[in-house]
């Protein structure tokens, strides 16, 4: 074990610590500074993880010094570090927006502290190496998100928030039961150990059933089609800065868990989960695209782009070949950054016209740079050539065609169709908001410069995806290669000579000490 074994714990502990620190009643500039410093530190640690895992090392920190199958471990492989970094980037932009947009009432009730707790939960979900700890991480994340959803107590927030809370609590109960079942079947909860034992057991109906239950849980968290009904109502009800982070990252936590479970842990019988993912993914893409075309409010339209992107990711995962996983990992980066950018743009647009609706027309005259940013992001979401979205979607579609099963071909058709509808919906926004002649009776409000800057920086990151598509795909390819060989993850976590727990005639006794 190298000297970096503390690193997988660092992003979580940093966010949690700064969250606790922010509970101290200080003046606003102090709180803003603390939030920014905390998020920057998290980002630095996440970048450190990315560098440390670049050569394929699996970093493990054993909590309490208990070795892997016994204690809870935090692990960072390429995928986890990748997600951690993306979440940290989005978190920084969200905190920036919150700092640029004073909201005295919500800030009085610890908006900044809750945001840090949310980041802590997200980082813990990405970096944990244990199924039950993943449940705990989800709860840390969700409790913070429940509080943020209803903070402000407008009726819309209460309505959407209550639905969101009930939905997620039901899914969490299912996750607890599934953890229990997994433990009952395989006698462990550590991801690596679960993977090892599932591999020893070979194809097994009970293990597959546990896998499908997990799929349902993570589909609910990630808003796959029938279980994602809460999303398009909830995200527009949130305050802008919080909504940005929710939209960009929270569904991706569910997607990450799906990738982790179905590429690392339950790999013995991939047929059923993959066809489920393909089927649900293709419906989700179309649902998202049609939803986008049907809405007339900025952030409602954008919430449906989130739904659609989850569909693409499920499609990539369901195809299951290393190329498809590579495209999915790359698309994760595209999706997180472009969603952050679009929500930041929507915040400025809503504030500039004083309404949520896309109907101002002619705003190109007042916000030319924002229009350029929107056009770039719209092309990225729709997947047209000069954007990173095109590269990732092209890779997805190619992987689907290469795999060639009827369900995969159906999903490819659905992906292309939904891209087309997305383009239509985005052009509708462009036509309704930026194009045309501005009606004189609609006033244009001044928006804080820092909010503009957040949108521009996020859009610059999206542009960076295009410029650095080469390194991005190299990293994604390495991640996919690592995910296609779960043995390396298992060996990285359990060590070269793992502790063998002898089967006992009664119960499953534990070794006394590692």
Partner 1 sequence: MEALFALLIGLLVAAGVFLLLSRKIVRVVLGLTFIGYAGNLAILTVAGLRELAPPLLTVPGPYMDPLPQALILTAIVIGFATTALLLTVALRAYQVAGHDNVAAFGDNLARDPQAGEGRFADPEHQGPDLPDLIHSDPEEPPEPDTGANTGRAGPGDREGLA
- What residues line the site for partner 1 (CB under 8 A)? 103-106, 108-109, 132, 135-136, 139, 142-143, 146-147, 150-159, 161-162, 165-166, 169-170, 172-174, 176-177, 179-181, 183-184, 236, 239-240, 295-297, 299, 350-351, 354-357, 359, 445, 506-510, 512
Output the smallest distance, CB 255 to partner 1, in A: 23
Q: Which of 236/492 has CB closer to partner 1?
A: 236
CB of 150 to partner 1, least distance (A): 5
CB of 319 to partner 1, least distance (A): 33
Q: List C-alpha distances in Å: 104 to 21, 27, 176, 308, 428.
A: 19, 11, 38, 34, 35
Q: What are phi and psi of 297, to 5 degrees?
A: -110, 145
- 307 Cβ neighbours under 8 A, 6+ residues apart: 223, 228, 231, 232, 284, 287, 288, 291
Q: Which is nearer to partner 1, 203 or 509 (CB)?
A: 509
Instruction: Name the residue nearer to partner 1 (CB basis): 470 or 507.
Output: 507
Which residue, 96 or 298, has its beta carbon nearer to partner 1?
A: 298
CB 198 to partner 1: min, Å = 16
Least distance CB 123 / partner 1 (angstroms): 18
CB of 488 to partner 1, least distance (A): 27
Residue 132 vs 372, nearer CB to partner 1 = 132
Burial class (CB in 10 A: 0-12, 13-18, 19+), 441: exposed
Q: Which is nearer to partner 1, 231 or 463 (CB)?
A: 231
Residue 127: CB partners within 8 Å, gap ≥ 6?
8, 9, 11, 12, 49, 74, 75, 76, 80, 84
Q: How far apart are CA 423 and CA 30, in angstroms?
A: 43
Kindly state the smallest distance separating residue 157's Cβ from partner 1, in Å: 8
C-alpha–C-alpha distance, residues 345 and 359, integer Å: 15
Taking the CA atoms of the chain, what radius of gyration do you get in angstroms? 22
Residue 196 vs residues 71, 190, 215, 258, 261: alpha-carbon distances, Å: 17, 10, 20, 18, 13
- Nearest by Cα to 217 from 227, 225, 208, 207: 227
């Amino acid at each position: 074990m190298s000297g970096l074994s503390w690193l997988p714990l660092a992003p979580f502990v940093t966010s949690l610590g700064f969250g606790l620190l922010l509970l101290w009643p200080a003046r606003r500039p102090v709180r803003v500074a603390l939030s920014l410093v905390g998020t920057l530190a998290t980002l630095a640690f996440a970048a450190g993880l990315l560098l440390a895992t670049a050569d394929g090392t699996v970093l493990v920190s054993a909590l309490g010094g208990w070795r892997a199958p016994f204690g809870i471990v935090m692990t960072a492989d390429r995928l986890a570090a990748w997600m951690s970094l993306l979440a940290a980037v989005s978190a920084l932009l969200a905190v920036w927006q919150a700092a640029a947009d004073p909201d005295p009432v919500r800030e009085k009730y610890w908006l900044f502290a809750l945001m840090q707790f949310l980041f802590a939960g997200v980082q813990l979900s990405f970096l944990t190496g244990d199924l039950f700890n993943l449940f705990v991480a989800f709860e840390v994340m969700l409790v913070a998100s429940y509080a943020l959803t209803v903070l402000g107590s407008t009726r819309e927030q209460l309505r959407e928030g209550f639905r969101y809370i009930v939905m997620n609590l039901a899914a969490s109960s299912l996750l607890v039961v599934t953890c229990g079942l997994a433990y009952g079947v395989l006698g462990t909860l550590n991801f690596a150990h679960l993977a090892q034992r599932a591999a020893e057991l070979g194809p097994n109906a009970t293990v597959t059933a546990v896998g499908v239950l997990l799929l349902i849980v993570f589909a609910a968290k990630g808003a796959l089609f029938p279980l994602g009904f809460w999303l398009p109502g909830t995200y527009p009800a949130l305050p802008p800065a919080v909504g940005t982070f929710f939209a960009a990252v929270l569904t991706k936590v569910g997607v990450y868990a799906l990738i982790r479970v179905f590429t690392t842990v339950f790999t013995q019988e991939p047929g059923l989960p993959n066809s489920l993912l393909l089927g649900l993914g293709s419906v989700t893409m179309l649902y998202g695209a049609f939803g986008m075309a049907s809405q007339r409010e900025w952030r409602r339209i954008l919430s449906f782009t989130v739904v659609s992107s989850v569909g693409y990711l499920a499609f990539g995962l369901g195809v299951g070949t290393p190329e498809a996983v590579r495209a999915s990992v790359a698309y994760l980066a595209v999706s997180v950054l472009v969603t952050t950018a679009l929500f930041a743009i929507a915040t400025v647009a809503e504030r500039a016209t004083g309404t949520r609706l896309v109907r101002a027309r002619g705003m190109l005259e007042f916000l030319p740079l924002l229009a350029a940013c929107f056009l770039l992001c719209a092309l990225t979401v729709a997947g047209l050539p000069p954007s990173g979205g095109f590269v990732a979607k092209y890779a997805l579609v190619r992987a689907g065609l290469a795999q060639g099963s009827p369900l995969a071909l159906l999903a490819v058709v659905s992906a292309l169709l939904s891209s087309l509808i997305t383009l239509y919906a985005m052009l509708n926004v462009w036509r309704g908001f930026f194009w045309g002649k501005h009606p004189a009776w609609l006033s244009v409000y001044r928006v804080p410069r820092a909010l503009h800057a957040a949108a521009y920086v996020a859009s610059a990151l999206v542009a960076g995806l295009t410029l650095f598509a080469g390194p991005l795909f190299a990293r994604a390819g390495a991640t996919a290669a690592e995910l296609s060989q779960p043995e390396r993850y298992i060996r990285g976590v359990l060590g070269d000579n793992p502790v063998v727990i002898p089967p006992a005639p009664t119960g499953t006794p534990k070794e006394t000490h590692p």
